[in-house]
C-alpha cells in the first residue's frame, strides 16, 4: 500500500482474501458485521490516501461508525444492495425498513448453477433481484380483491407483502403466536442469528402496509370460506419425513429437528445420534454439541450436504470438530440405548450407543387445505414448501412469482 501511494494512485480499495480462502473473501452467515476492522486499520494507519473498504456492512449504523472512527473515507456495501436495491436511499432517510442481506451465499450458489445457462444470480430474500425488467416495481392493479394467505413462513410472508403492494386486501392466518415459520427454528443454531432478520423485515413491512395478520389462528376450510376471498395462497410448509417402516422409529427416545431447535426436548449430557448429514442435520448437531451432548452424525451419503454451497458446509464443519461423521451408513434399527447401522458398501453392521436419536432427513410437501378447497376458490396457489421443499430462496421466489401474477 505504501509503495502504491508513492506511485501516485488516487485511492485504495482494501479487500480481504481470495477465492481459495472462501470464507474470508465472501463471508458466510457466521461472520459478524465489521469483522474486517482491524485488517482495514492496519493499512489505513500506514497511508494518507483515501480508503474504501467493505466490512460486511448490513446496517447503516455500521457504515456510519466506520466513517466516524475515520476507518475509511468511503464505505463499500456489496451484497446488501442485492437484498435491498434501495439500501442507500433508505440509509439517507433513516426511517425506512431495510431488507438486510443474511449472508446466506445464495447469490454465489445460484450463479454457479445459472451462469452456464446464461442466467443471472438470484437473491434469497429479494426475488426481484436481476429480474427488475420482468417485475417493474409493484403496479397496484389488484384493488378490490381480497386474498387469504395461509402460513406465516417466508413464502406466506412474501406472498402477503407482494399482494398488498399490488393493492389487494390481505388476510394472513398463522397458527403459531409469531410469524416466521421455519425461520423461527432456523435462527437457533450457533451463528445463525441473521436468519431472524427475515421475519423482522416482514413484521415491520406487513404492519406498515396494513395487512390483516391473525396470529394463533389455525386456518380451516370453513374459516377461509367464511372470509369470501377472491383468491387463496396456501403456504403451510412441509412435514418432517419419518421412515414409518423403521424399527424403533416411534420410540420415546426419537426426536425431530423441531423438538431440538424449539427447546421442546432439552437434551443435555446425552449420547445423541443425528440421522442426516444435510445442512439441517449438521446445524442441529452443532446445537446439540454446544448444549453439552456427545453427538454422532450418520448418513447414507458419502459426504456431508453434497448439494449445498461448499463455503456454507465448510463454515459449519469448521465448528463441528470433535463430532464424528459416520457416512455411507444406513440406519437399520433404533433401540432404547443404541442404533444399528449397515455399511452401504460392505454390508457390515455395527451398533452405536445412543440415548437419543434425532431425525433430520428432510421434509415433504403438505397442502391438505389446498386439496379441500380446490375448485371452490380460484385462483388458488400453493407456494413454498407446501408445493416443493426448498430453502428460504426457493420459498420466497415461488411465493413472489405466484402472488405477483395471481390475477394475471
Question: Phi/psi at 293 (nearest 5 deg)?
Answer: -95, 155
Look at residue 116 in the predicted model and tell me its pLDDT: 95
Q: Of 136, 142, 134, 144, which Cα lies nearest the Cα of 159?
A: 142
The answer to whether 231 and 149 have CB atoms below 8 angstroms apart is: no
Q: Of 405, 406, 398, which Cα lies nearest the Cα of 157?
A: 398
Question: Cα(349)–Cα(153) distance, rounded to whole angstroms?
Answer: 41
Question: Cα(184)–Cα(195) distance, rounded to whole angstroms?
Answer: 8
SS3 for 359? Answer: strand
Residue 41 has pLDDT above 90, yes or no: yes
Look at residue 291 in the predicted model and tell me its pLDDT: 96
How many residues are given for the chain?
Answer: 408
Mean pLDDT value of segment 247-257 = 97
Residues 6+ apart with CB under 8 A from 186: 192, 195, 261, 392
* Per-residue pLDDT tens digits for 273-318: 999 999 999 999 999 999 999 999 999 999 999 999 999 999 999 9
Cross-sheet strand order for the sheet of 74-76: 12-14, 51-54, 74-76
Q: What's the predicted TM-score (pTM) here?
A: 0.95
The confidence band for 249, taking pLDDT boundaries of 50, 70 and 90, is: very high
Could you tell me where the DSSP H helices lie in 16-125?
Answer: 37-44, 60-68, 80-83, 87-93, 106-114
The secondary structure element, H or E, covering residue 261 is helix 257-261
Where are any strands of DSSP class E within 250-328?
Answer: 254-256, 271-275, 294-299, 325-327
Mean pLDDT value of segment 334-363 = 97
Look at residue 362 in the predicted model and tell me its pLDDT: 95
Look at residue 245 in the predicted model and tell me its pLDDT: 93
* Per-residue pLDDT tens digits for 174-206: 999 999 999 999 999 999 999 999 999 999 999
Residue holding cell 423438538? 259
State the distance between the two ends of the chain, measured CA to CA, in whole angstroms. Answer: 56
Q: For residue 268, with 0-12 CB atoms within 10 Å meaning exposed, 13-18 middle and 19 or more buried, which class applies?
A: exposed
Look at residue 21 in the predicted model and tell me its pLDDT: 83
Is the previous residue joined to 388 through a cis bond, with omega within 30 degrees of 0?
no
Cell numbers standing for residue 260 = 431440538
Strand partners, 105: none
Question: Cα(161)–Cα(271) distance, rounded to whole angstroms?
Answer: 44
Residue 386 has pLDDT above 90, yes or no: yes
The confidence band for 20, taking pLDDT boundaries of 50, 70 and 90, is: confident
Residue 395 has pLDDT above 90, yes or no: yes
Q: How many CB atoms within 10 Å of residue 18?
A: 9
% of the chain residues with pLDDT over 70: 100
Mean pLDDT value of segment 397-408 = 97
Q: For residue 85, with 0-12 CB atoms within 10 Å meaning exposed, 13-18 middle and 19 or more buried, which class applies?
A: middle
Report how far apart, in Å, the C-alpha atoms of 121 and of each of 118, 130, 158 are: 10, 7, 19
The confidence band for 22, taking pLDDT boundaries of 50, 70 and 90, is: confident
Question: Cα(163)–Cα(143) distance, rounded to whole angstroms?
Answer: 10
Rg (CA), the chain: 24
The answer to whether 305 and 277 have CB atoms below 8 angstroms apart is: yes
Mean pLDDT over each residue of the chain, to the nearest integer: 97
Question: Cα(227)–Cα(217) distance, rounded to whole angstroms?
Answer: 14
Cell numbers standing for residue 114 = 445459472
Cell numbers standing for residue 136 = 417493474
Residues 6+ apart with CB under 8 A from 267: 255, 260, 288, 291, 293, 356
% of the chain residues with pLDDT over 90: 97
The confidence band for 408, taking pLDDT boundaries of 50, 70 and 90, is: confident
Question: Phi/psi at 133 (nearest 5 deg)?
Answer: -75, -35
Looking from the CA of 335 toward its CB, the CA atoms found within 13 Å total: 9
Residues 6+ apart with CB under 8 A from 395: 153, 154, 155, 158, 235, 383, 384, 385
The confidence band for 125, taking pLDDT boundaries of 50, 70 and 90, is: very high
Amino acid at each position: 500500500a505504501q509503495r502504491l501511494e508513492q506511485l501516485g494512485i488516487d485511492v485504495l480499495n482494501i479487500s480481504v482474501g481470495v477465492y481459495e480462502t472462501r470464507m474470508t473473501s465472501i463471508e458466510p452467515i457466521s461472520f459478524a458485521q465489521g469483522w474486517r476492522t482491524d485488517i482495514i486499520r492496519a493499512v489505513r494507519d500506514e497511508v494518507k490516501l483515501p480508503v474504501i473498504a467493505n466490512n460486511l456492512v448490513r446496517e447503516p449504523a455500521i457504515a456510519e461508525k466506520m466513517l466516524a472512527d475515520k476507518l475509511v473515507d468511503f464505505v463499500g456495501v456489496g451484497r446488501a444492495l442485492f437484498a435491498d436495491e434501495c439500501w442507500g436511499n433508505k440509509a439517507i432517510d433513516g426511517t425506512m425498513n431495510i431488507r438486510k442481506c443474511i449472508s446466506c451465499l445464495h447469490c454465489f450458489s445460484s450463479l454457479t448453477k445459472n451462469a452456464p445457462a446464461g442466467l443471472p444470480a438470484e437473491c434469497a430474500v429479494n426475488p426481484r433481484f436481476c429480474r427488475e425488467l420482468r417485475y417493474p416495481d409493484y403496479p397496484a392493479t389488484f384493488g378490490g380483491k381480497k386474498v387469504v394467505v395461509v402460513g406465516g413462513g417466508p413464502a406466506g410472508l412474501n406472498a402477503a407483502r407482494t399482494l398488498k403492494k399490488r393493492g389487494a386486501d390481505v388476510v394472513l392466518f398463522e397458527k403459531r403466536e409469531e410469524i416466521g415459520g421455519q425461520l423461527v427454528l432456523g435462527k437457533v443454531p450457533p451463528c445463525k442469528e441473521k436468519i431472524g432478520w427475515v421475519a423482522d423485515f416482514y413484521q415491520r413491512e406487513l404492519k406498515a402496509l396494513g395487512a390483516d395478520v391473525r396470529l394463533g389462528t389455525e386456518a380451516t376450510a370453513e374459516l377461509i370460506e367464511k372470509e369470501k376471498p377472491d383468491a387463496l395462497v396456501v403456504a403451510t410448509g412441509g412435514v418432517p419425513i419419518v421412515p414409518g417402516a423403521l424399527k424403533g422409529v416411534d420410540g420415546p427416545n426419537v426426536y425431530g429437528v423441531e423438538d431440538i431447535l424449539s427447546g421442546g426436548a432439552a437434551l443435555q449430557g446425552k449420547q445423541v445420534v443425528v440421522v442426516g448429514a444435510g445442512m439441517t442435520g449438521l446445524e442441529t448437531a452443532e446445537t446439540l454439541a454446544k448444549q453439552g451432548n456427545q453427538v454422532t452424525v450418520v448418513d447414507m451419503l458419502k459426504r456431508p450436504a453434497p448439494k449445498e454451497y461448499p463455503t456454507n458446509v465448510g463454515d459449519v464443519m469448521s465448528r463441528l470438530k470433535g463430532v464424528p461423521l459416520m457416512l455411507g451408513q444406513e440406519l437399520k434399527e433404533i433401540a432404547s440405548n443404541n442404533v444399528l447401522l449397515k455399511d452401504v458398501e460392505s454390508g457390515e453392521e455395527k451398533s452405536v450407543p445412543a440415548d437419543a436419536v434425532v431425525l433430520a432427513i428432510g421434509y415433504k410437501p403438505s397442502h391438505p387445505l389446498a386439496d379441500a378447497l380446490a375448485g371452490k376458490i380460484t385462483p388458488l396457489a400453493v407456494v413454498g414448501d407446501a408445493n416443493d421443499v426448498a430453502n428460504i430462496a426457493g420459498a420466497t421466489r415461488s411465493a413472489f412469482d405466484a402472488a405477483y401474477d395471481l390475477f394475471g
